[in-house]
A and B are shown apart, each in its own frame.
Chain A
């Protein structure tokens, strides 16, 4: 019990003094997961729109498949990307294994299904009368799409937040393809909040783990508060 209290106090000190090690890991986590979220958005939002407004055979099954992939285990994604980019894999020549890029790829793949699915929900949630109104006002196909997305902007923003939350909080893929490396340079290190917590805890550095855990929580909470603030404006 004493250890936990002491660890907690030490964690507060690390955060308040902006401990360089903790901050570096936090900033790296944000950069990697934010990049993954942006890339995933570029795929998931247009894909979600195409599936929502498209009429093609197997549309319902595809939506079901996407929804099933919401619970895609992170280690499975990690394993898949690992196999693809390891030395013997088809993309081994790119030397991506144990780099931040590999982590971005893994997180992107991980969150595309949930972001696509939630985009479909967001767009299908737009009032049919609004859609009819856009068409009756003489919208071209592109004007129609951009305006429906605009109308669903808050729900889509929430989708992005969910994607970011899942990316920054996952540990399985990050450790498999990132390797939790603390290299000399910031850019080639792959130690992020989740992998660091995992490592520090196993090494008995409870205070370090708690500090990193608090930072992770604050980031997740901050993103959601920011989204809520925009939605209620």
Chain B
């Protein structure tokens, strides 16, 4: 549906996008995730023809939208967009929603019927005659969504639609996004710096970093098998350890600062890599000498900090390098974990994801 080929955008000497390549399929929810300032908004604006790319091609249904100017209005009219900052016209809610339909010359009866449907869809039934400027930020954003939806776009572009909203409005907009996609089959591209929102809503996501897609895949792929150290860090993998691949009796092993770690990796001996281990996969046990029943990585270490995090605690252990684990408060009490305590840290080779170090 949307094909991005080597898309770049420079503002003066600043390279915001530097060769983005990817594809959005018809009927899917595609999230563009990435840190603030990574060019997510710019990419969406280029797709909506609000800006012109410096290089590369964007095709919608095979049409190169930035060169075939005679088609640009009809291409843009296939799309609806909601912006990060809630903005409404200085008019009533109903008049706001009607704007796109009036641009298309729809008759009054059709407009009235559509406005009512759209208001019901976004949970603002009965708000038609209110002045749009008097609404809250969350309500304005729902008006913006209704305004974009009444024109029945094939593609809905949402630029950080929930960035400045309260949690209730966020949940409502997220629910709407899923319903619009499911019930109307609208292709949705949205940007967010909230990786969990990307995970909740998207069928596939693209991680935008340093002007390119560092990785494109399903949320599961991106969250469990990040393509690089930067992606791993962005998707919340807290344990990233540098090492070098060494061979050890035919099984893959990694030397991390003199400590041997067993891991599965596609890389050959001598390659510089990073080990990515999710905190949830790391276990902590009291340092008891004796038999080892666990066939994995077992590292002795000292607790350096115990920090509360919501209903859990983040426990950091120094075992030559730092490793963090997430434990319930009760577990922390049971194990009597506190600074300076000797413990053993264990994790299976399968829970280690290895990426090349750049």
Contacts and interface: CB of A to CB of B under 8 A. Distances in A.
B89 A130 contact: yes
Nearest to A143: B103
Contacts of B151: 137-138
Given A140-B103, A147-B99, A135 B87 contact: no
A151 B100 contact: no
A136 B99 contact: no
Contacts of A147: 89, 99
Contacts of A132: 45, 50, 81, 83
A135 B103 contact: no
A198 interface: no
A150 B90 CA distance: 9
A133 B76 contact: no
B77 interface: yes
Contacts of B90: 151, 154
A30 interface: no
Nearest to B150: A137
Given A140-B73, A151-B89, A151-B90, A134 B83 contact: no
Contacts of B50: 132, 135-136
Contact of A134 (B79, B80, B99, B144): B99
Contacts of A130: 87, 89
Interface string A137-165: 11110010001001100100000000000
Contacts of B77: 138
Contact of B99 (A127, A137, A140): A137
B65 to A, nearest CB: 13
A187 interface: no
Q: Which of B100, B144, B147 has the most C-beta atoms of chain A within 10 angstroms of its own C-beta? A: B100
A138 B80 CA distance: 9
B243 to A, nearest CB: 47
Contacts of B85: 129
Contacts of A154: 90
B83 A138 contact: no
B73 A138 contact: yes
Interface in B291-334: none
Contacts of B80: 136-137
A136 B79 CA distance: 7
What's the dominant secondary structure at chain B's contact region?
A: mixed
A137 B103 contact: yes
A138 B87 contact: no
A133 B87 contact: yes
Contacts, number: 53
B48 A136 contact: yes
A129 B87 contact: yes
A179 B49 CA distance: 57
Nearest to B84: A129
B100 to A, nearest CB: 4
Interface residues of A, number: 17
Interface in B48-84: 48-50, 73, 76-77, 79-81, 83
A166 to B, nearest CB: 27
A139 B103 contact: yes
A138 B104 contact: yes
A145 B259 CA distance: 68
B181 to A, nearest CB: 19
Given A129-B87, A147-B99, A136 B81 contact: yes
A133 B144 contact: yes
A114 B81 CA distance: 37
A143 B325 CA distance: 58
Contact of A127 (B45, B87, B104): B87
Contacts of B89: 130, 133, 147, 150-151
B319 to A, nearest CB: 51
A14 to B, nearest CB: 43
Contacts of A143: 103
A138 B105 CA distance: 11
Interface in B77-118: 77, 79-81, 83, 85, 87, 89-90, 99-100, 103-104
A139 B105 CA distance: 11
Nearest to A134: B99
B83 A129 contact: yes
A33 B325 CA distance: 79
A41 to B, nearest CB: 20
A137 B95 CA distance: 13
B76 A138 contact: yes
B117 to A, nearest CB: 17
Contacts of B49: 135
B99 A135 contact: no
A138 B83 CA distance: 15
A22 B131 CA distance: 44
B87 A136 contact: no
B147 A137 contact: yes
Given A130-B89, A132-B50, A151-B90, A137 B100 contact: yes
A128 B10 CA distance: 20
Interface in A20-46: none
5 contacts: A129-B83, A132-B81, A136-B79, A138-B104, A151-B90
* Among all A-B residue pairs, the 4 with the closest Cβ atoms: A138-B77, A129-B87, A137-B100, A136-B81
Given A136-B80, A136-B81, 8 more contacts: A129-B83, A130-B87, A135-B48, A135-B50, A135-B76, A137-B103, A137-B148, A138-B76
